[in-house]
Amino acid sequence: MSKTRRRRVSKTDLTRRALLAVLASAIAVPSVAVAQDPRASQVQKVARDWLALADKLDGAATWNAAGQRFQATIPEDRWALLLRREREARGAVVQRSAAGTSFASQLPSVQEAGSYAMVHFRVSFANEASAFEDITLEQGSDSTWRVIGYVIH
């Protein structure tokens, strides 16, 4: 029985040593990091700033801060009603985190080529524990990113 016990201890000890060796090598050898697109933090900030206005149910401010494509799609008063209807029932934002950012030169719903970004957020509202917000942005001729789309699902 003591031989069996020693083998178990030895196997456990070997497993621990192997694990420690892997961890030590991971710490000692710097890993290759995939650099985040530098535009990602920029568009996420623009999206968050715009969402802060939406969180206040400020239809006029969100509409005014949005891009021309957004403004041409929906009149300000209609947007303000939709924003209030969609957000009020969900309640206040409890937590929001960026879940991903991507960039494209074409969008299925837009014929013109351009610089577009999509920021996907996980969000928790007071009355809806798990939801997602998708923000689509377009970079204007002045290099400024502006929101052109907002979807909650």
pLDDT at 109: 82
Distance in angstroms (rounded) separating the CA atoms of residues 59 and 82: 9
Distance in angstroms (rounded) separating the CA atoms of residues 109 and 48: 23
CB 109 within 8 A of CB 134: no
Distance in angstroms (rounded) separating the CA atoms of residues 54 and 61: 8
pLDDT tens per residue across span 29-70: 333 333 477 889 999 999 999 999 999 999 999 999 999 999
CATH of domain 38-152: 3.10.450.590
pLDDT at 3: 52
Residue predicted with more confidence, 125 or 35: 125
Domain ranges for the chain, please list them: 1-33, 38-152
pLDDT tens per residue across span 64-112: 999 999 999 999 999 999 999 999 999 999 999 999 999 999 988 888 8
Please give the single-letter amino acid code of residue 5. R
Distance in angstroms (rounded) separating the CA atoms of residues 62 and 51: 8
3-state secondary structure of 35: coil
Distance in angstroms (rounded) separating the CA atoms of residues 59 and 62: 5
